Amino acid sequence: MASVLEVIYLIFNEGYAATAGDDWIRPALCDEALRVGRILAELAREDSEVHGLVALMELQASRLHARTDANGRPVLLADQDRSRWDPLLIRRGLAALSRAAALAEALDGALGPYALQAALAACHARAHRAEDTDWPRIVALYDALAQVNPSPVVELNRAVAVGMAFGPQAGFAIVEALAADPALARYHWLPSVRADFLAKLGRRAEARSEFERAAGMTQNTRERELLLLRAGEMGARD
């Protein structure tokens, strides 16, 4: 079952944030992953993680229409028009998360990795405005996720949450500790996140270099354009 869930989520993620090509999102892949996930949830009704994965996909898919502008350019989470988030998918996602939590509670009380990620997505879904996001709660959920599914990618995401909850210097310290991790050597989100923190700390020249480095690592055209745009916003080179 773990392998089946992993494949479904990989398909969904490729639709949610395409790794290569000219499109930022590929909604047909998200739709197919959701279709298979919903079927699986009907077949494995007592499996908390199946419902956790479905909850995660429903909640993430609710943002698809807001993730690009009219020209297909990426729109980051903080800048999205939340009125474009799909309320039906949010309701379905929250219901699936409640089901996953109830099943986990009946077993041992511990949420699995997919249910924890769904709980993270739920924090965003419940915030009507970006500034209403419960970032301390998100940090706590990442702490729990790091316990059950430790990885440098989880730690990088936790750094973003820590930065939002406790200030950019706190998040930046975590990112710096990850800089030498070989698992992230070709992971473009590392320099991208580092650049964002550097920009918030007023280190614009360094931020520009990191945005450019991230742009050189991604294979997605739209993402590269966004990273180069953000690099340009840091000002001209010295």
Which CA distances in Å does 232 have to 5, 69, 214? 40, 20, 13
- Are residues 16 and 33 in contact, defined by beta-carbon separation less than 8 angstroms? no
In a domain, 158, yes or no: no
The verdict on residue 237 lying in a domain is no
Q: What is the pLDDT of residues 64-91, one digit of tens each?
A: 999 999 999 999 999 999 999 999 999 9
pLDDT score for 25: 96
- Under the banding of pLDDT at 50, 70 and 90, the label for residue 107 is confident
Within a domain: 67: yes
User: What is the reported pTM?
Assistant: 0.95
Considering the domain boundaries, does residue 207 fall inside one?
Answer: no
* Residue 20 dihedral angles phi and psi, to the nearest 5°: -150, 170
Please write the tens of the pLDDT for every residue from 193-202: 999 999 999 9
Residue that is written with structure tokens 């930022």 in the block: 24
Which residue segment(s) compose the domain that 10 sits in?
1-133
| pLDDT(56) > 90 | yes
Whether 203 is in a domain gets the answer: no
Does residue 157 fall inside a structural domain? Answer: no
Share of the chain above pLDDT 70, in %: 99
Domain count of the chain? Answer: 1
Question: 33 pLDDT exceeds 70?
Answer: yes
Query: Phi/psi of residue 118, each to 5°?
Result: -65, -40
> Is 70 domain-assigned?
yes
Do the domain assignments include residue 152?
A: no
Mean pLDDT of 108-134: 95
